[in-house]
Amino acid sequence: MAVAEEQTRREKPAILLGIANPAMVEPLAILAARLAKGADHRLVVSHMVSIPPQMDLAAARELPEVSRASALLRYAVRVASRRGVQAEAVVEAARDPHQGLVSAVESQDARLLLVGYAKPDGEDPEGHRLENVMRGVAEEARCDLVVAKLQSDAFDSVYVPIADETNLPLTSLLVRSLAETGTRARFGRVASPDVDREEASRELKDLLRKYQLSGLGPAELLVGKDPTTKILERARAHHGLIVGARPRASLASGLFGDRSERLADQAECSVLVVRSHHRGR
């Protein structure tokens, strides 16, 4: 690659795809490539290799885990390439996995971190380890965070419930990026039965205009006492669901808060849980 072209790439914001589970490489890489292409971001795929306390970090490159990680990332790069995106691959060696991810965010100047998530089954130690890693990342990484629970790599249509503005800048980036690669969106808001419906509808339309979403799909106002149930019902007709995390929620007790966790667990489609980074939080 020419020096000038490489410099131009490095000036673009980065999406960092953190890969842990080999079974999730292809759907995550496809999603990351679509987001990078739609948003005109560069894509970096990374895998964390844990280093024992007694080992010197410089010697980590000789570990067999590093060789396996490199092969995993080469596969992710090929998947992204088939989608028209030239990705970079970085193996991070760290004594603590979440610190490795945080360091990768900093070294790559990543604007967004994308990781996969699968709810632990029973007392699965790997699942609980992932919970702990992502809790640390959510608290320390200075970037936007998207946690993807993928049922398939299809994202032909997404349902986007909107409650407030907290995560709308990030949600807007995702929806517009997916729309650039062919995804259709439908937006919704669930209001309690006692609200002024005209005012609630107007507020929803104002938010969609403010964040450049109004032309990307229809919007609907739903009325009900249980917003989660309404969202799950509407999500059945779509390949994906994009939901925002509560501002101060963490993964200490689940996936970004009770409502997001319930949606991720019970939705029949793929779910993207988004959390905007707020400096000074």
170 has a pLDDT exceeding 80 = yes
For the chain, give every domain's residue range: 3-149, 157-275
Decide if pLDDT at 205 tops 60: yes
Name which of 29-38, 61-70, 97-106, 167-176 the model is least confident about. 61-70
Which class does domain 157-275 fall in?
Answer: alpha beta
Per-residue pLDDT, 125: 45
> Which tokens belong to 196?
């002024």
Class of domain 3-149: alpha beta
The predicted structure's pLDDT at residue 70: 87
- Across the chain, where does the E strand assignment appear? 14-18, 42-50, 87-94, 110-116, 144-149, 157-161, 184-191, 219-223, 240-244, 270-275
**pLDDT confidence of residue 65:** 75
* Predicted local distance difference test score (pLDDT) of residue 254: 52
**Which range among 103-112, 133-142, 211-220 shows the weakest confidence by mean pLDDT?**
133-142
How far does the chain reach from its first CA to its final CA, in angstroms?
40
Find the helix or strand (DSSP H, E) in which 113 lies: strand 110-116
**C-beta of residue 29 within 8 angstroms of C-beta of residue 79:** yes
Residues 37, 180: contact at Cβ < 8 Å?
Answer: yes
Amino acid identity at 196 = D
Better pLDDT: 53 or 14: 14
CATH fold match for the domains 3-149 and 157-275: yes
pLDDT at 32: 96
pTM of the model: 0.85
State pLDDT tens for residues 242-281: 998 865 544 444 546 677 878 888 899 999 999 887 644 3
pLDDT band at 9; cut points 50, 70, 90: low
Per the model's pLDDT, the better-predicted residue between 4 and 36 turns out to be 36
Short-list 237, 253, 17, 230, CA closest to 114? 17
